[in-house]
Homo-oligomer: A and B are copies of this chain.
């Protein structure tokens, strides 16, 4: 969108990346529900390009794990089985635990102070109870963990995995007492990091993420009966399905 370029062909650095960012965001935000089929032609029309760059975007989305491409049957936004969801959360837990461990060892003084400030200032979100606000804080908190590890590769893996999990985490904090529990778990993590206790930070983070995963699973299960009765999670999928 934005600058309506008068020319017609050859740029790529803009075309595909812009589409990719936009569509990926829509999937991650949940605007496009898992299981939806993405038609290459309507995508092409929507962005006023031909099907070729759309196909390339699909390839990127598939590589990110946000969509699934089956040989001659088009692409659908990824739909994760319960087992896979738990497996991904488990990987996420290990990833974040590793980050937290490194945070405890390597965060700069500024980063530690900033983390603590962020964490403390979020306390009123817990009381006021604005779910969206807490979710924003939560996102930022975890991002700080990824960054504080000072390991770009780990950070990227964590961000990627989080992106793939994001479509399945919506309304995660709707459960009444979840924000307060979450904040307390964060508190343990912050404490361990500030104290420089690497193993404790790892343990606390792992526990926290696994706790979140249980929330996600319960939330999904409670919705299985109402929202989509025709078993949307039945594709077996063979391998783990989280190559990324």
Contacts and interface: CB of A to CB of B under 8 A. Distances in A.
A231 to B, nearest CB: 21
Interface residues of A, number: 40
Interface stretch (A52-60, A112-120, A183-191): A52-60
Contacts of A95: 94, 98
Interface in A133-164: 151-157, 160-161
Interface centre among A59, A72, A97 (most CB of B within 10 A): A59
Contacts of A90: 151, 153-154
A204 interface: no
Given A52-B52, A154-B94, A243 B88 contact: no
Contact of A242 (B157, B239, B242): B157
Interface string A63-106: 11000000110000000000010011011001101100110000
Contacts of A152: 84, 87, 239-242
A12 interface: yes
A197 interface: no
Nearest to A63: B63
A211 B52 CA distance: 45
Interface string A29-60: 00000000000000000000000100110011
Interface of A: 10-13, 52, 55-56, 59-60, 63-64, 71-72, 84, 87-88, 90-91, 94-95, 97-98, 101-102, 151-157, 160-161, 199, 239-244
Q: 8 tightest CB-CB pairs across the interface, nearest first?
A: A152-B240, A63-B63, A94-B98, A13-B71, A91-B153, A153-B242, A59-B59, A91-B154
